[in-house]
Amino acid sequence: MSHALKNIGKLTKQDFKVENPVKWCAGCGGHAVLSTVQNALPETGVKKENIVFVSGIGCSSRFPYYINTYVFHGLHGRAAAIASGIKVANPNLSVWIVTGDGDLMAIGGNHFIHILRRNINVNILLFNNKIYGLTKGQYSPTTPMGSVTKTSPDGTIENPFKPGELAMGSQGSFFARVVDTEPKMMKEVFIKAAEHKGTSTVEILQNCIIFANQVHKEITGREVREEHQIYLKHGEPMIYGKDKNKGLVLEKGRLKSVTIGESAYTLDDILVHDVKDPDDTIHYMLTRMSLPGLPVAMGIIRAFESQVYESMLTEQVEQARESTRINTVNELLRSGNTFEVK
C-alpha cells in the first residue's frame, strides 16, 4: 500500500455508508458502482479520514454525497485539478476522483491529460454513459457518431473519444475498463487501481436508464457479453468467448481475433497480457478494440509504475532543505545584497 496511515481495525462496507438518501434514478448504473466502491474501500486498508473523494459536476459527480469520507464536490470539469492540489499538499491522503464523460472528456479534458502526464497518485472513476444526464439528454464527447439526442436531432456529426486512447496518448500509467453490471470485476479492478502508484483511470461502462438506456448493450448484454468482451488478466493469454476458444494474435502490426484450433492457431499463438510492459503499443491497441470484429477489452489494460509527481516534489523539497543555508524567512530577507545604516 502506498498510503502511510493504515487503519487499526478493519473497516466494513457499513463504515462508508451515509444516511443521506441516494438521489440517482432507480435503475441507474451508479447504484452498483457506489455499492462496489463501499465494498472495495475496506480492502485498501486506508482509514476513512485519509480518503478524499473529489468530483466535478454531473450525475456521477453526486457520488461523493453518498460516501462517508472527506469530500470535495468541485466545479464542472475541475475535479482533477482540485484533486491534484489535495494530493500534492498531503501525499498521505488516498484521493479518488469521480467523474463522467462530459465532466472529464469535454470541459475537463485539459485537466485529464495533464494529471495523467504528471502521474499524480490518484484514482479516477469515469462513469461513461455516453450522454449528459444531469442536464437531461444532450450528446457528450463519447456519444457514438450519428446518435440522435436533444442537441443532435439529426444525429451527431462528431467522432467520439475513446477515453483509453486519450489515456494512452497522455502517458497514463494505469487504465482499466469495467462494466457497471459486474460488481466482482469492478471490485477487483478498483482495489488494483487504489494500489497502483500513479494516476489510475477506470472507465466504467455505465447505463443511463433515462437518456441513453442500453447504450452499452452490444457489449454488456447478457446474451452477447461473453462473445463481445474480453476480460484481460495480467500474465494470462488473451482468450475469450463462451467456449474460451477465441483469442487475440498480432498479425501484420494489427490485433486479430482467431479461433483456437482453426486455421492452425494454437494457444501458444495467443498474446499473453502484460499490464506492466513499459511500451504501451499493445495496450493502446487493446483500448481501441471495438465491435464488430474485435471484442471490447475489459479489466486492467495497463498498469506500469513509474515516477509519481508528488513523490518527486517531496524529494526536491527535502533535498532543498538539506542543502540550504537559508532556513527561515528572516534569513531569506537578509540574504544577498543588504546594507546597514548605523
Partner 1 sequence: MSKNTKIIELDEVVVKFAGDSGDGMQLTGSQFSDTAVFVGNDLSTFPDYPSEIRAPQGTVAGVSGFQVHIGHKEVHSPGDKADVLVAMNPAALKANMKWTKPGATIIIDIDNFDNKHYKKAGYAEDPLEDGSLEGYNVVKAPITQMTRSTVKEFGLDNRTADKTKNQFVAGLLYWLFNRDIKFGENFIKQKFKNKPDLVKANVKVLNEGYNYAETIEAMATTFLVNPARKKKGLFRTISGNQATSWGLLAASERSGRPLFLGSYPITPASEILQEIAGRKHLGAKSFQAEDEIAGICAAIGASFAGHLAVTSTSGPGLALKGEAIGLAVMTELPLVIVNVQRGGPSTGLPTKTEQADLMQALYGRSGESPVVVIAASTPANCFDYGYIAAKIAIEHMTPVIMLSDGYLANGSELWHIPDVNDLPEIKVPYVKDNDPDYQPYQRNPDTLARYWAMAGQQGLLHKVGGLEKEDITGEASHDPMNHQIMVEHRQAKVEKVVDFIPGQEIIGPDTGDLLVIGWGGSYGALITAVEELQEEGKSISFAHFNYIRPLPKNTDDVLKGFRKRVVCELNMGQFADYLTMKHPKFEYLRYNKVQGLPFMISELKLKFNEILEELS
Residues 139-198 binding partner 1 (CB under 8 A) are none
**Quick one: which of 71, 98, 131, 294 contacts partner 1 (CB under 8 A)?**
71
Among 22, 86, 106, 134, binds partner 1 (CB under 8 A): 86
Q: Which of 13, 48, 187, 197 binds partner 1 (CB under 8 A)?
A: 48
Interaction between residue 6 and partner 1 (CB under 8 A): no
Identified binder of partner 1 from the candidate list 64, 100, 164, 198, rule CB under 8 A:
64
Neighbouring residues of 31: CB distance < 8 A, sequence distance ≥ 6: 22, 24
State the number of CA atoms in the 13 A half-sphere of 128 facing the CB: 24
Q: Which helix (H) or strand (E) holds 321?
A: helix 309-323
List the one residue from 191, 209, 271, 313 that touches partner 1 (CB under 8 A).
313
Between CA 133 and CA 143 the distance in angstroms is 12
Contacting residue, 92, 214, 266, 306, with partner 1 by CB under 8 A: 92
Binds partner 1 (CB under 8 A): choice among 35, 38, 44, 50:
50
- Is 1 a binding residue for partner 1 by CB under 8 A? The answer is no
Asked if 13 is part of the footprint of partner 1 (rule: CB under 8 A), the reply reads no
Residue 329 engages partner 1 in binding (rule: CB under 8 A): yes
Locate 12 and state its grid cell: 466494513
Please provide the DSSP assignment of 34-98 as one string.
HHHHHHHHHHHTB-GGGEEEEE-SSSGGGGGGGSSSEEEE--TT-HHHHHHHHHHH-TTSEEEEE
State yes or no: residue 336 binds partner 1 (CB under 8 A).
yes
The dihedral built from the CA positions of residue 141, 143, 148 and 149, taken in this order, carries a sign that is negative
Chain centroid to CA 53: how far? 13
CB nearer partner 1, residue 109 or residue 241: 109
The smaller minimum CB distance to partner 1, of residues 78 and 177, is found at 78
11-34 exposure pattern, b = at least 16 Cβ within 10 A, e = fewer: beeebbeeeeeeebeeebbbebbb
List the x/- string, 99-138, binding to partner 1 by CB under 8 A.
-----------xx--x------------------------
Q: Is 266 in the site for partner 1 (CB under 8 A)?
A: no
DSSP code for 173: S
Residue with cell 496518448: 169
> Which region, judged by CB under 8 A, interacts with partner 1, from 139-147, 169-177, 247-255, 329-337?
329-337
Is 338 among the residues that bind partner 1 (CB under 8 A)?
yes
Q: Quote the CA–CA distance of 283 and 276 in Å, as a whole number.
A: 10
Q: Which residues bind partner 1 (CB under 8 A)?
A: 20, 48-50, 52, 54, 57, 64-65, 68-75, 78, 80-90, 92-93, 110-111, 114, 313, 316-317, 319-321, 323-324, 326-330, 332-334, 336-342
